[in-house]
Amino acid sequence: MMAFAAAQAPPPAAAPPAKPFKDDAERDLAIAANIEKDPKAQVEKLDKWKHDYPTTAYDVERLNLYFIAYGALKQYHDQVVTAQELRKTLPADLTLLRTIFVDVAQIKPPSPEDLAALSDAANFIITNPDQVFDPAKKPADQTAAQWDQLKPQMVAYAKTQLDSVAEEQGTDAVIARLKQDPTRVALNVWLGKKILADAKDHPERQSDAIFHYARAASYTGPGCLDPKARESMKSFVDRAYKTYHGSAEGEDKLLAAASTSALPNGFVIPSTVDVAKGEAAADEAKRAANPMLAAWNDTKTILTADDGQAKFDAEIKDAALPKFKGKIVSMKPAIRPKTVVVAVAKDGVADCTLTFETPLAGKMEPGEELEFEGVAKSFTKEPYMLTLAVDKDKLTGWTGKNAPAAPRAPKKAN
Q: How does pLDDT run across 142-185, given as a tens digit for each residue?
A: 999 999 999 999 999 999 999 999 999 999 999 999 999 999 99
Confirm if 304 and 381 have CB atoms less than 8 A apart. Answer: yes
pLDDT above 80: residue 11:
no
Mean pLDDT of 211-223: 96
pLDDT above 50: residue 8:
no
Rounded-to-integer distance, Cα 46 and Cα 62, Å: 7
Rounded-to-integer distance, Cα 345 and Cα 297, Å: 7
At residue 13, the pLDDT reads: 40
**Number of other residues whose CB lies within 10 A of the CB of residue 32:** 15
Confirm if 394 and 373 have CB atoms less than 8 A apart. Answer: yes
Rounded-to-integer distance, Cα 359 and Cα 367, Å: 20
Rounded-to-integer distance, Cα 340 and Cα 395, Å: 11
pLDDT above 60: residue 68:
yes
pLDDT above 50: residue 391:
yes
In single-letter form, the type of residue at position 402 comes to N
Helix (H) / strand (E) containing 402: none
Cα–Cα distance list, 97 to 5, 218, 332 (Å): 19, 34, 95
| Contacts with 405 (C-beta within 8 Å, 6 or more apart), sequence order | none
Quick: pLDDT tens for 356-390.
999 999 999 999 999 999 999 999 999 999 999 99
At residue 118, the pLDDT reads: 97
Quick: pLDDT tens for 264-301.
999 999 999 988 898 889 888 988 999 999 999 999 99
Beta pairing, strands 339-343 & 324-332? antiparallel
| Contacts with 136 (C-beta within 8 Å, 6 or more apart), sequence order | none
| Contacts with 185 (C-beta within 8 Å, 6 or more apart), sequence order | 215, 216, 219, 223, 224, 225, 262
What is the reported pTM? 0.70
DSSP helix/strand/coil, 343:
strand
At residue 406, the pLDDT reads: 56
Confirm if 366 and 298 have CB atoms less than 8 A apart. Answer: no
pLDDT above 50: residue 12:
no
For 339-355, give one letter per residue: b (16+ CB within 10 A) or e: ebbbbbeeeeebbbbbb
Helix (H) / strand (E) containing 118: helix 112-127
Helix (H) / strand (E) containing 193: helix 185-197
Reported confidence tier of residue 203, pLDDT bands at 50, 70, 90: confident
Mean pLDDT of 235-256: 96
Higher pLDDT: 285 or 83? It is 83
Reported confidence tier of residue 195, pLDDT bands at 50, 70, 90: very high
Mean pLDDT of 79-86: 98
Beta pairing, strands 352-355 & 339-343? antiparallel
Quick: pLDDT tens for 46-57.
999 999 999 999
Higher pLDDT: 329 or 402? It is 329
Count of helix runs (H) and strand runs (E) in the chain: 16, 7
- What are residue 355's DSSP bridge partners? 339, 389
Q: Please give the share of the chain, as a percent, with pLDDT higher than 90.
A: 86
Rounded-to-integer distance, Cα 304 and Cα 308, Å: 5
- Which part of the chain has CATH 1.25.40? 24-171
- Which part of the chain has CATH 2.40.50? 291-396
Mean pLDDT of 298-322: 95
Comparing CA positions, the residue from 304, 341, 337 lying closest to residue 326 is 341
At residue 253, the pLDDT reads: 97
At residue 17, the pLDDT reads: 58
Mean pLDDT of 62-72: 97
Instruction: Please give the CATH architecture assigned to the domain spanning 291-396.
Output: Beta Barrel (2.40)
Instruction: Please give the CATH architecture assigned to the domain spanning 24-171.
Output: Alpha Horseshoe (1.25)
Confirm if 52 and 13 have CB atoms less than 8 A apart. Answer: no
Average pLDDT, the chain: 92
Rounded-to-integer distance, Cα 345 and Cα 326, Å: 8
At residue 4, the pLDDT reads: 37
